[in-house]
Structure 1
């Protein structure tokens, strides 16, 4: 290369190097400005969810600005202070208090465009008065998978570490029931099973009530638990399945929605569905004749999964914040009764 060519190449390389260094310097200065106190990114605004009345009690639990942070939602605040109605990001109403007229809807004071949430974890068979709520609510919070805010009674999560050992299984089947009515399908099925299967019955409807802290230790020695729902509806799988059976370490025998619904939540070999049998006698024969190796297959999921119960209403209401950015603002349930019973 000639001297002139070398000089030209040198100049081009030098200018490129200087330009690159200048760009790096500018980016560094911009980053410093972003980090400077006067140029800090705007903080994420806190979302306020007003709980108009707390479910099943006149004395709501203590709430703080960090209540939802315990569930991984740091910019979400629950409040029962009704003076916040005008500026709450959403207001949630639990149906039982509306149904029994222990609470009311502040329709005349409702700010324009404010989303209202209807909340219930009861089945349609035990939900009344929905015809009075046409055209009021924008979103629904319930156990139904097609809810705007879907909150199941429980779920399975990956387990960290080995599963805790279960106590010795020296009893066959248990059932806890509070309301015993002959017209219920679960009671009729129990009547058919009883001559062929020893079932120990606990709860307010029996002569053996259980204190809250006694429930799981009492049920743990049983091989099977009759997780019979009080009514059969879409996605209606309650604490009878999640807590009384799975969390206690008993294999659930389920009466509720179809098998496919349960399989959307748990492995197909984690439960026994009554629909898989032609009669109560066939079911009883299957349960009483099961050997130990077969039984252990129903508990195999415990080695990799654990039960997470979702029974706290604070966690349920905080879930509104997680869904808030994804929910349609212009949606209105014109026929809430038709949707819930559909």
Structure 2
């Protein structure tokens, strides 16, 4: 009877080399398949007369697809206020002429050889810019293994664009499609009226939560499950028993409260889950960044923060109290009489304008892990335990 020959050490070595080769080729393919020029830009004819203008190179894909850049850079010519103009390209052949090389942090990894240009030394006038919009856990799980692996980015980037207030250009989630980015609430010159009766006439339920990300590092799903023991929270979205509901947000005005619970508890990470609710006559209940971060950017007394309560039960009881006391509830909407939203230009135009300024003193991120680590994440609902989410 003929048996199988046992694997020799050479066979095993060849086997593992083959597996590693497939792994690294896969990494290379997945990164580089998004590096072909964006089709939406390729199909456009560049307007004449702008040849001397600054050039921004969209070097990587954005969130896995180059086409996603079109919401920020829709045309080959970016026209901004004060006659500021930049040329937009995604063609790597033009890297030597680009004043900015724009890199999406979610579309690179710690294997720099898979995405950095080989044997290329950027000229001193060229700025490499990193942009991102997700909480830190996303990059640990999807692209970088841990805080230490960010060291491969040391010395690469000059500027950053993100929701963090220490970024070169701030692009947080408080924006308006018509007004711009990095918006702020400021006092109105003249107070407006608030029709309390009309607002309350629409209210038919207590609290709403729309959710599509079911298991989170913030454990918001556990918090709300405990709240449900003391009050009713209407849950819609793909994580609810009712399944996905495309019209869920159309019902916000029916509810007195919306649970603006983030997937991560990280400094300054406040998303549209909170800011979009401020546009409605509904009170957001926040769990995400520490309360002080909300206070820096939201109007006074415009929200309720979970950290003000010892337990989910205490928060639930307070919401029930407000439900039964209309005058106290309406105090959380009073700010609408006195505040309005003002915004800066959208960040692509801020980036373009910055290229025409005197930027001889540039900031080089020689310690990217140190910069990244200045922003903390937390492992508990009262922000006592720091964690690398």
CA distance in 2, matches of 1:117, 1:196: 48
Q: Counterpart of 1:268?
A: 300
RMSD after superposition:
3.1
Q: Counterpart of 1:26?
A: none
| Greater CA drift, 257-266 or 115-124 | 257-266
Q: Trace 1:1-342 onto structure 2 (pairs within 5 A).
A: 46-56=53-63, 57-59=65-67, 60-61=69-70, 63-64=74-75, 67-69=78-80, 72=81, 74-77=83-86, 79-82=88-91, 83-99=93-109, 104-106=115-117, 108-113=119-124, 114-128=126-140, 129=144, 130-154=150-174, 155-157=183-185, 166=199, 168-181=202-215, 184-206=218-240, 207-211=242-246, 214-243=247-276, 245-290=277-322, 291-306=325-340, 315-324=346-355, 325=357, 329-342=361-374
Per-residue deviation, 1:184: 3.5
CA distance in 2, matches of 1:305, 1:112: 46
**Count of matched residue pairs:** 291
Determine if contact 1:66/1:74 at 8 Å carries over to the other structure: no
1:251-285: CA deviations, max 9, x gaps?
11111222211111012300101111121111111
The structure having more radius of gyration, on CA atoms, is 1
CA distance in 2, matches of 1:147, 1:255: 23
| TM superposition score normalised by structure 2 | 0.66
CA distance in 2, matches of 1:296, 1:145: 31
CA distance in 1, matches of 2:209, 2:257: 9
| SS in structure 2 at match of 1:108 | coil
CA distance in 1, matches of 2:342, 2:222: 31
Q: Structure 1 pair 307/127, CA: closer, same or farther in 2 (3 Å)?
A: farther
CA distance in 1, matches of 2:156, 2:362: 12
CA distance in 2, matches of 1:104, 1:226: 40
Per-residue deviation, 1:292: 1.4
CA distance in 2, matches of 1:286, 1:278: 12
Per-residue deviation, 1:328: 6.2
Q: Structure 1 pair 133/299, CA: closer, same or farther in 2 (3 Å)?
A: same
Q: Higher helix fraction: Structure 1 or Structure 2? A: 1
Q: Structure 1 pair 134/200, CA: closer, same or farther in 2 (3 Å)?
A: same
Determine if contact 1:228/1:253 at 8 Å carries over to the other structure: yes
Q: Structure 1 pair 64/298, CA: closer, same or farther in 2 (3 Å)?
A: same
CA distance in 2, matches of 1:112, 1:282: 58
| SS in structure 2 at match of 1:225 | strand
CA distance in 2, matches of 1:288, 1:302: 23
Q: Structure 1 pair 133/183, CA: closer, same or farther in 2 (3 Å)?
A: closer
CA distance in 1, matches of 2:95, 2:291: 43
Q: Structure 1 pair 210/48, CA: closer, same or farther in 2 (3 Å)?
A: farther
Q: Structure 1 pair 78/288, CA: closer, same or farther in 2 (3 Å)?
A: farther
Determine if contact 1:47/1:77 at 8 Å carries over to the other structure: yes
